[in-house]
A and B are shown apart, each in its own frame.
Chain A
Amino acid sequence: DTEVTQTPKHLVMGMTNKKSLKCEQHMGHRAMYWYKQKAKKPPELMFVYSYEKLSINESVPSRFSPECPNSSLLNLHLHALQPEDSALYLCASSQVLPKGRTFKAEQCFGPGTRLTVT
């Protein structure tokens, strides 16, 4: 299995809702990433997990809460979002080089979840 899957493909939520985005990979990758992509813009890194521990948080608002329950799964919990949070949310994964600190550069991306906040 050489792909990253994301569910749901589309999500519409109100500003008071709580929802979750899910990402799964079975390539044995131990680094997983969340990106946010606005229309006509490049992806922006949000979070990185390495060996199920949060490694990088790019000063993301607390209304986004990541979770990595095991080496294959990555969740993004959403609560009290704003309309400006509407975007394509991409998950990616990569290998981690020996010594566990450097991620192998080649990332595999999922197809994304299109989120609309109303």
Chain B
Amino acid sequence: AQSVTQPDIHITVSEGASLELRCNYSYGATPYLFWYVQSPGQGLQLLLKYFSGDTLVQGIKGFEAEFKRSQSSFNLRKPSVHWSDAAEYFCTLYNFNKFYFGSGTKLNVKP
């Protein structure tokens, strides 16, 4: 069965520091993977997606993610965090008309 795990419930980083949010998935075939961001009380915004091909994908707002099949991971990274990046981040797997969301990682940014 497919599933997504985000091991970190909360992460706090200083503004300007680098960021890595972890995501592990369970799926038998090549997955469709996404990272979404959600600001408080808002809908979800797509940051980036992986379907196939290049394992390093670039997204909006300076985010990137690397797909590692051997580790069943799809970690999200950003070299320099801005205060406006404080939000909830969801790693998501898509399979046949359904999304499987991780539990989310809440990012706090210290000034």
Binding site for B on A (CB under 8 A): 4, 6, 31, 40-43, 45, 48, 55-56, 88, 90, 92, 102-103, 105-112, 114
A/B interface sample: 5 pairs, CB < 8 A: A31-B97, A40-B106, A42-B90, A45-B99, A90-B43
**B101: contacting residue among A43, A48, A108, CB under 8 A:** A43
**Which residues 94-111 of B have a CB within 8 angstroms of A?**
94, 96-99, 101-104, 106
What separation, in Å, do the CA atoms of A112 and B40 have in the docked complex?
Answer: 11
Ranked nearest first, the 9 interchain pairs of A and B with the lowest CB-CB distance are: A42-B101, A109-B43, A105-B94, A109-B44, A111-B43, A105-B32, A103-B97, A112-B43, A110-B43
What separation, in Å, do the CA atoms of A48 and B43 have in the docked complex?
Answer: 17
**A111: contacting residue among B34, B42, B104, CB under 8 A:** B42
A88 touches B41 (CB 8 A): yes
Interface size on B, residues (CB 8 A): 22
B46 touches A106 (CB 8 A): yes
Please give 16 more A-B residue pairs, beta carbons under 8 A apart, in addition to A102-B97, A105-B51. Answer: A41-B103, A42-B102, A43-B44, A43-B101, A45-B99, A56-B97, A56-B98, A103-B97, A105-B32, A105-B34, A105-B94, A106-B46, A106-B49, A108-B46, A111-B42, A112-B42
Interface centre among B34, B36, B45, B99 (most CB of A within 10 A): B99
Q: How far is the CB of B101 from chain A (nearest CB, A)?
A: 4
Contact mask B68-111 → A, CB, 8 Å, 1/0?
00000000000000000000001000101111011110100000
A109 touches B49 (CB 8 A): no
B97 touches A55 (CB 8 A): yes
Interface centre among A6, A42, A90 (most CB of B within 10 A): A42
